[in-house]
Structure 1
Amino acid sequence: MNRLTTSWGDFTLTRFPEDPRDPLRAWDAADEYLLRHLAGIDAGAVDLSGTVAVLGDRWGAVVTVLAGHRPVQITDSYLTQQATRANLARRGADADAVRLLTTRDAPPERIDVLLVRVPKSLALLEDQLHRLAPHVHAGTVVVGAGMVKEIHTSTLKLFEKILGPTRTSLAVKKARLVFCTPDPQLARVPSPWPRRYELPADVVAAPGLPVTNHAGIFCAERLDIGTRFFLNHLPRSRGPERVVDLGCGNGVVGTAVSLANPEAELLFLDESYQAVASAEATFRANAGPDTKAQFLVGDGLSGLPAGTVDLVLNNPPFHTHQATTDATAWRMFAGARDALRPGGELWIIGNRHLGYHVKLRRLFGNCEVVASDPKFVVLRAVRN
């Protein structure tokens, strides 16, 4: 199940955090198609002797296979980086076999082969292609990969507009490749990201609050209705409490709490580098000079000492890339239980049909409905 066979050998690969019960693989048919193409199984092999940059490699499968070519991985995901490190170590590769960069880091000065695993977010693709465009040249080989359902006309138009002429392959196992020829004559324009908007006047917690959104974060162009509902039913934080905005996104929830209670110490936490950069920009634009806040990219609350948090606020995701799963939410809830002091509280916003109250009762022994409407529910669980 976790064994990937390629022209470079067989590789045992896992996601992060590793869970033997997880039925999802660390690669898919798009990764296999891309690796077959690079190896020249269907045509001539791609010359990988220059600088190879891999954007959006979801669990490190591609760079682990290509580790002998010293590729550069560019990702927005902390979990992807951890999976890559684990998969490289399992393979016995050198610690520096792959250069790990985030989407916030400066790209390599010159890119000879650019491999793009098409992300779910078209905005993130747009932003990253703009950032990478000055570093490719007329001879750069650009190959994108994705499942058919991930590659749309709008996807191809972005490659063509930002890099150059673009075409697609035939579909194989519901996967497709994108071939782009860089055009040095194309005008280079800056990325349109980040973008900003103000909270609507009917948001009780922080009407008119300006919000900064880097590409790729959830609902980067407008306030989503779930967060709006949460903002109108936040707990009243008082005194020098330690509050965590878990899965912070653009940081609007934690910033609203800080404005209501300037004595609170906020921790904005997400596994997305784009999200944490957005949260910091949102907070800095609104908070007073004496308010306390930390901004951390990480694996949930796993790095926090037990019993050190008073309040956790969470809008958990129920997708990981294209897969629907509650595994991330479950880990967030369990991490919150461990991090909270006795009497500390976890508040979450979720779709009613997801049944989070069942999980919270199993973990905390209690769960209270704070507010609900036909679509969403705000739940509160207390650490005993």
Structure 2
Amino acid sequence: MTSALLEFDSGELTLFRPGAVGDSLRAWDAADELLLGEAQLRLGRASGRVLVVDDHFGALTLGLADYAPRSVADSAVLAVALKANAALNPDIPEPAPPLTWLTPPDGPFDLVVMRIPRQAEYLGWLLRWVNGVLADEGCLLAGGMIKHLPDRSVGVFAGAVTTETVLPARKKARVVVCRRGEAQLADWPGTWKGYSVPGVPAPVKALPAVFARDRLDIGTRELLPLIAPAVAQVPGGTRVLDLACGNGILGLLALAERDDIEVDFSDVSSQSVASVRRNLAQCRWEHRATTVHSDGIDGGAGQYQLILLNPPFHEGGVVGDHIALRLFQEAARHLAPQGRVLIVGNRHLGYHRTLQRFFARISQQAASPRFVIFEASL
């Protein structure tokens, strides 16, 4: 495990980033440094309630540990990173486990410290949610790296909260200081968006943090014709896994093909899990499915006859195959002896080579100019 030292005005933290190789990826950036500095200036000796929203790897939650912050995040990575990084810093108060959008915290909070997401619609959702938990005189500090701020972010802030000031940029990072606005989630039409797919009895909808929630992802589109023949070959009573499920479209189509199988849905995003639960309920398939909020496959999941996977190739601002490699390894570990994994990926990522590290047999099932679909088995 490689760790590095984050130094800020009132102390220092030893932090590591799960999944990082060598020293290539740090567990914090300049936006975390700016947010910590501004938060501590405003808190001083105050005793108000503090909330951290979408901390990445624990830098904000641990940096503000003296104020006993609550933390809520979409990603399951935070829980793993926070526990590990708290152990590396035993001299600071141990933080409470982070909450997710499946069980969000109740307000009011006097200070909310938030990482600005890359998606404009998720930012709009977050700001409206914050309005519902921010105290009357409370303050929101929202920060991010300038190159990762979503398009139209100025308009998104203006439409939801009252911007008090935009702090000077530092190390290519920006912090916005806001007060509570009038916009609320209850009357916002952007919470749920989706589309219809033949074979699924209800529109497939998702919350704003979910990838490709309002359109069928083109990689997923390439995989759809192979779902039915793959599901047709599994024994009755089979458990199928939709890994990195997003809105759950692959697993939903599997359920539509057979009424004698069950599907597990797993995703690192709690908004994805909430979206799948909504879609299962709309299709009346809750009794045939399990949803898991996890960074990969839960260790006690057992084995699967069929795993469906459209792996993400970006994590925050980092693009690459590091997430896919870990998911391939976990899929191999949880694949039944006669089981198969169906995988779609961008052609340039070269999955035909990386899959050989974990699977004995790999065959190309389909291809387009941009995407390739592989079947892998042990």
Partner SS state of residue 99, structure 2: strand
* Residues 95 and 371 of structure 1, relative CA distance in 2, 3 Å threshold: farther
8 Å CA contact retained: 1:212, 1:282? yes
State how far apart, in whole Å, the 2-side matches of 1:339 and 1:59 are: 27
Q: 2:16 aligns with which of 5, 14, 17?
A: 14
Check if 1:273 corresponds to 2:270.
Answer: yes
The superposition leaves residues 213-243 of structure 1 with CA deviations (integer Å, 9 ceiling, x where unpaired) of 0120001111111111111222233422110
Query: Which residue identity is paired with 1:259?
Result: A
Number of aligned positions between the proteins: 371
Aligned counterparts of 1:320 and 1:288: Cα–Cα separation in 2: 31
Paired residue for 1:325? 320
Q: Is the 8 A contact 2:241 2:265 kept in 1?
A: yes
Q: Tell me, in whole angstroms, the C-alpha distance in 2 between the residues paired with 1:53 and 1:375.
A: 42
Q: Percent identity over the alignment?
A: 32
Q: 2:255 aligns with which of 250, 255, 258?
A: 258
TM-score after normalising by structure 2 = 0.91
**1:354 is matched with which residue?**
349
1:280-334 deviations in Å (ceiling 9; x for gaps): 2212222557x5211111131241355x211110000111100112111011101
Note closer, same or farther for the CA distance 1:45–1:221 as it changes in structure 2 (3 Å cut).
Answer: same
AA aligned to 1:240 is G
Residue of structure 1 aligned with 2:224, choices 213, 231, 235: 231
Which residue in 1 is equivalent to 2:114? 116
Q: Distance in 2 between matches of 1:153 and 1:286?
A: 34
Superposition deviation, residue 253 in structure 1: 0.4
Tell me how far 1:200 sits from its aligned partner: 5.0
d(CA) in 1 for partners of 2:72 and 2:369? 40
What is the correspondence of 1:128-143 to structure 2 with a 5 Å cutoff? 128-143=126-141
* Cα 1:260/1:146, change in 2 over 3 Å: same
Give the alignment's TM-score, normalised by structure 1: 0.89
Q: State whether residues 54 and 72 of structure 2, in contact with CA within 8 Å, keep that contact through their aligned partners in structure 1.
A: yes
2:293 aligned with 1:297: yes
**Unmatched segments (≥5 aa) in structure 1:** none
My pick for the range that moved more, 159-168 or 344-353, is 159-168
User: Distance in 2 between the 1:335 and 1:189 partners?
Assistant: 37
Residues 1:61 and 2:72 are matched in the alignment: no
**2:37 alignment counterpart:** 36
Aligned residues: CA RMSD: 2.3
Runs of at least 5 residues in structure 2 that lack an aligned partner in the other structure: none
Given the alignment of the two structures, is residue 221 of structure 1 paired with residue 222 of structure 2, yes or no? no
**More displaced 10-residue stretch of structure 1: 117-126 or 103-112:** 103-112
Say which is worse superposed, 280-289 or 21-30, in terms of deviation: 280-289
* Residues 122 and 216 in structure 1, CA contact (< 8 A), matched pair in contact too: no
Which structure 2 residues correspond to residues 238-257 of structure 1 after superposition, within 5 A?
A: 238=234, 239-257=236-254
SS at 1:137 equivalent: strand
Following superposition, the deviation at residue 70 of structure 1 comes to 0.3
CA distance in 2, matches of 1:98, 1:7: 23
CA distance in 2, matches of 1:116, 1:145: 6
Q: Once the 2 structures are TM-superposed, how far is the Cα of residue 49 of structure 1 from its aligned partner? A: 2.4
The partner residue of 1:169 within 150, 156, 167 is 167
Report the alpha carbon displacement of residue 107 of structure 1 after superposing the two structures with TM.
Answer: 2.9
Deviates most, 161-170 or 3-12: 161-170
3-state SS in 1 of match to 2:376 = strand
Correspondence 1:60-99 to 2 at 5 A:
60-92=58-90, 97-98=95-96
